[in-house]
Amino acid sequence: MQIDVKRVEGSASRYFKDFYLLPSVVNAGNDKWVPWFLGDVKELVDKRHPLFEHTEGEFLVALRGDKVVGRIFVFENVRYNQTHDMRSAHFYFFDSVDDRDVSDRLLQSAVDWAKGRGLELLLGPMGLGGVTGGGLLIEGYGYRAAMTMMMYNPPYYRGLIESFGLEKYIDNFSFYLPTTARLPPALRETADDLLRQGKYRVLEFRSRKEVAAIADEVGEVFLATLGRHTGNYFLSENELTRLKNSLIRIAKPEMIKVIACEEKIVGFLFCFHDLSAAIQKSKGRLNPLTMMRLLREYGKTDWLLINGMGILPEHQGTGANMLLYAEVEKVIRKYSQFRYLEMVQIQETTAKMLSNVETLQGRTHKIHRIYQMQL
């Protein structure tokens, strides 16, 4: 039967419901997949997200007869291209039944859209900046997704994407660390010496109001340290505000650690309670019952997530990075509820960070791959 590709013209479109629900269909019965909230997807499809201040794109579905069997979001992120001096199109929200005819039709539609804009490269799955993870899951299918920070997909997606001709661009690693992890004594002494000298100190917070007071400065450090990494870019002011508000809303204040040097913020560490179990029960609906489950999950979850760690370049090599890892150790010592720790979105190009994680007895347990195709 013929496969047709249609545009999803906002959340009022006849195709929107199936666009949103398709991942729950292809992941039916899989307790490792975590759904996006309906409101967040609506915000994107209706193009009310600040991403669209500088981005053009189309949300597409593939239909066989009247049934939606695939979806994709293809877009040109102008700020990303400016940051990285590229002429690339990106794709995200790629989902398909296990059928090459369907996936080929979707991906060809993305290629045609990109060529029509005179772009030279297709990259994806590519996140939307901030803590939205990019890359197709190619290893680690037996582990639950880290909320919606990184994608979860069936193993057959890899074959669909690679058979179309897309090739590896870069891998992102997620590391598992045992909560018994400890810094080697020599590195612990480095961190302690740095604090004793008084030049560096660790800022801690007791309220969201305290976090909000330094959020702008932390945002600047976030962009300076991670803005040029693959998958990230220099966010617009409204995108950065949205990221800061999300961080303040989701992360417990005591889980945010900030490194200051002579009262200037130079580094940060974002730790999160993994609320995936409550999000799964929500089935994408944010209502009073979901809110109650989310609040309860803060005290129940035994997984700690780390998604966001950085030190300004001029302070790398001073030992300041060891202060961040020392804070990781303190958190897992202090909160006995955590039995497992996951660090997400560590790129294969960040050799020093990979080395530091291995020093902490971390091991790779997920790999997400971003693919490329020259146009």
Sorted by where each starts, the structural domains of the chain and their CATH numbers stand as: 3-172 (3.40.630.30), 177-366 (3.40.630.30)
The one-letter amino acid at 151: M
Give one DSSP letter per residue of 320-366, joined into a string: HHHHHHHHHHHHHHH-TT--EEEEEEEETT-HHHHHHHHHTT-EEEE
Structural contact between residues 338 and 328, judged by C-beta atoms closer than 8 angstroms: no
Alpha-carbon distance of 349 to 373, in angstroms, equals 20
Task: Quote the CA–CA distance of 169 and 273 in Å, as a whole number.
Answer: 31
Cα-flanking dihedrals φ and ψ of residue 283, to 5°?
55, 35
pTM tops 0.85 = yes
Q: Is the peptide bond before 155 cis (omega within 30 degrees of 0)?
A: no
Q: What is the chain's pLDDT, residue by residue, as a tens digit (375 residues)?
A: 799 999 999 999 999 999 999 999 999 999 999 999 999 999 999 999 999 999 999 999 999 999 999 999 999 999 999 999 999 999 999 999 999 999 999 999 999 999 999 999 999 999 887 778 899 999 999 999 999 888 999 999 999 999 999 999 999 999 888 777 777 777 788 888 888 898 899 998 989 998 888 888 888 988 888 888 888 899 999 998 988 888 888 888 988 989 999 889 999 989 899 999 999 999 999 999 999 999 999 999 999 998 888 889 888 878 888 888 888 888 878 888 888 889 888 888 775 666 667 767 778 889 999 999 999
Element (H, E) at 214: helix 208-226
